[in-house]
Structure formats: structure tokens, C-alpha cells
Amino acid sequence: MDVARGGAGARGVGVGALSGLSGVSGVVGSIKWHHYPAAAINGYTVAPLNKARTEWRLTATVVLADAFKMAQTPLTFVAKHAKGEWQFPIKRFTRDEYRLSATLGPPLQIRR
């Protein structure tokens, strides 16, 4: 996973930890409905939509999806990293056969 930083970087947990984060890209990600896997992602980019970083844009390639689970709420985009994972709530999304574009809420960093 590549993390682009525009300042101090992401060290803590929660939205404040992303104050310097300008974007995240990676290969393996997933979409979950609660704890159930809804879709497998192979290649994604996440970037903030506003300066306050209250909304983010996800562009991803979907390689496997469960249509029933993708129609449920709430959905969460999960991107794993060396110290845990980022979890972004999905506010809305559009999807053609393989491309997914979504508006995400503020992320939460889960440390493992």
C-alpha cells in the first residue's frame, strides 16, 4: 500500500490521525457488510474530497462481489496496512461490471 502524506503523517487512531494524509492506494482491499465479505478489491485509490477530510473518494477494481451483500447497509471499505487497517464507511457508490466509485465517510484506523 502506498500512502501519500502532506504533513505529519498518520500516527494515531481516528480521523485526527489523518490530518496529513492526502491519499492512500493499494492492491488488496475489501468491502464488508458488518463482518461479512461483500466484495474483493484488487487495486484501489482513496483521496479526500474536501480540506476537512470528512468525505473521501474511492476508485477501485472489483474482482468478486456478492450482489445481495453489496445491496445491504452499512457497507465499509477496508484497506489493510502493516500496523492494522483503515475502515471507511461507504456513504454511496456506483458500480459497473468491474469498476467501483464511492463516496466514503471519515476513516477509522484499527491497530492489530
pLDDT per position as a tens digit, 14-69: 444 555 667 889 999 999 999 999 999 999 999 999 988 899 999 999 999 999 99
2-111: what CATH class?
mainly beta
Q: Between 99 and 16, where is the model more confident?
A: 99
Q: Is the pLDDT of residue 71 over 80?
A: yes
Q: What is the pLDDT of residue 22?
A: 76
Instruction: Give the C-alpha separation, 2 to 103, whole Å.
Output: 20
Domain boundaries, the chain: 2-111
Q: What is the pLDDT of residue 19?
A: 55
Residue ranges of alpha helices (H) inside the chain are 67-70
Q: What is the pLDDT of residue 18?
A: 55
Q: Between 107 and 40, where is the model more confident?
A: 40
Q: What is the pLDDT of residue 100?
A: 98
32, 38 contact by CB (below 8 A): yes
